[in-house]
A and B are shown apart, each in its own frame.
Chain A
């Protein structure tokens, strides 16, 4: 469950975070403002509050059912939505710092051969920005993996809540805690190492 939750939320936050970053560097003031507002608001709300809000607020009060009647599936989808919404703000900021490392001459040369704003961003600026922010992006993804535990607040059966049930049933607190901590390290460490390696391999030489 943790893996599935992590992967789906990661994909969601990368896509939405990229769109947010595009908004924040766009020449349209309205988009820039909206992107900045989103990032600054979402970044400063604790994840727990977002998740509980999406569960209580969206599901119970506004009756958003996420296309299902099954309570567990609904909880899972809301957890993905919340995690993606939250971490996309960090993805956006990581990308934006990456965009700032791409020399302005790259975008100017792209515009000079007749590429549009969105082509310039998609073909020239973002591919270079992504490569320079693989390490900070890895940090966001690792944080996301660990933050899946917060989804427990709305009853999604991820690893930590599983652990809690087990500890309640058995007495081996320390051992079980260690096993699950190890489990998270197993999930996050290879991600970190892989992305670190990728970052070095793909680094753009200037």
Chain B
């Protein structure tokens, strides 16, 4: 084996950032995740779609262990997910998460929201944290709102702050669980634009969304889930114009013609 090919193998291994193998999860009798195998490469943008209740949120939440799993393995950047304690907290800091309902800390200002994790988890000093927070808030276009409280912002602004809060931890991968579903239509685009910019900047992203425009323009791959299983995986163009499974055809016909 030549040196070059060894190096190439090492790169290939490092390219796999998030790996799920044979993941199963039950809520009581309900089998929400069934034998999920999914690999996400560094820099890849994967959109997860599927009918309500198919387990998309649960899948997202198992990746930073907000939900535990019953069997299978999940590893991030080559390391298996820690069970709990300090190691788990450290891992969560490396995995950014953006929620449907924003979940900004209601008793802290926008700036404090973005500073908190840097100071308490990354042990950054206050000045550096504030500076970085302002840079990030500018980047998502809410720099002028830094001293307001979350409740004083529109939904679209809150969600952009939430993205900045996650970015402040310098995450290796970002999880988005229906980030625009709780927004008024006129605010959806301002959030999607921030996400598209992130995708262009090379961030690894797992995005649960029904925004087909975003999936087509930003995703490398679409994962279609139904009843706790991954039914189909394809590049966006192929998935939307020529889905293979009946479940996906059925689902697409419902969301595209309404």
Chain A: residues with CB nearer than 8 A to chain B? 103, 105-106, 108-116, 119, 123-124, 127-128, 131, 204-206
Contact B106 A113 (CB under 8 A): no
Q: 4 closest pairs, A vs B, by CB?
A: A114-B93, A205-B151, A109-B103, A113-B117
Query: Which of A108, A109, A115, A206 is in CB contact (< 8 Å) with B89?
Result: A115
Indicate if the CB atoms of A127 and B92 lie closer than 8 Å. no
Q: How far is the CA of A176 from the CA of B93 in the complex (A)?
A: 64
Q: Which residue of B lies closest to A110 (CB)?
A: B105
CB neighbours of B94 from chain A (8 A): 114
Contact A119 B107 (CB under 8 A): no
Within the complex, the shortest CB–CB distance from B147 to chain A, in Å, comes to 15
Determine which of A111, A119, A124 lies in contact with B105 in the assembled complex, contact meaning CB atoms within 8 Å: A124
A112 and B92 within 8 A (CB): yes
Main secondary structure of the interface of A (DSSP, over half): helix
**A128 / chain B contacts, CB cutoff of 8 Å:** 106-107
Contacts of A108 in B (CB 8 A): 66, 99, 103
Which chain B residues lie closer than 8 Å to A105 at the CB level?
99, 101, 103
Q: B103 touching A114 by the CB < 8 A rule?
A: no
CA distance A49 to B96 in the complex (A): 53
Q: Given known contacts A109-B103, A204-B107, is B117 in contact with A114 (CB within 8 Å)? A: yes
Contact with A along B83-95 (1 / 0, CB 8 A): 0001001111111
B149 an interface residue at 8 Å Cβ cutoff? yes
Give the complex CA separation of A131 and B107 in angstroms: 9
Q: What 1/0 flags go to B147-188 for Cβ under 8 Å of A?
A: 001011000000000100110010000000000000000000
The size bracket of the interface on B is 20 to 34
Contacts of A116 in B (CB 8 A): 86, 89
Q: Which of A108, A109, A110, A124 has the most CB of B within 10 A?
A: A109
Taking a contact as CB atoms under 8 Å apart, the answer to whether B89 and A205 are in contact is no
State in angstroms the CA–CA spacing of A103 and B96 once bound together: 20
Contact of B121 among A114, A204, A206 (CB under 8 A): A114
B116 within 8 A of A: yes
CB-CB under 8 A for A114 and B89, given A105-B101, A108-B66, A123-B120: yes
Q: For window 98-136 of chain B, which residues contact chain A by CB distance below 8 Å? A: 99, 101, 103-107, 116-117, 120-121
The reply to whether B116 and A123 contact each other, CB–CB distance below 8 Å, is yes
Taking a contact as CB atoms under 8 Å apart, the answer to whether B92 and A111 are in contact is yes
CA distance A105 to B99 in the complex (A): 8
A205 touches B106 (CB 8 A): yes
B74 touches A (CB below 8 Å) = no
Nearest chain A CB to B124's CB is how many angstroms away?
A: 13
Give the Cβ gap from A164 to chain B, nearest Cβ, in Å: 46
Q: Which of B92, B107, B121, B152 has the most CB of A within 10 A?
A: B107
Partner of A206 from B95, B106, B120 at Cβ < 8 Å? B106
What residue of chain B has the Cβ atom nearest to residue A107's Cβ?
Answer: B103
Cβ A109 vs Cβ B86 within 8 A: no
Shortest beta-carbon distance, B258 to chain A, in Å? 29
Specify which chain A residues have a CB less than 8 angstroms from the CB of B151 in the assembled complex: 205-206
A119 to B92, CA, bound (A): 14
Nearest Cβ in chain B — how far from A45, in angstroms?
Answer: 36
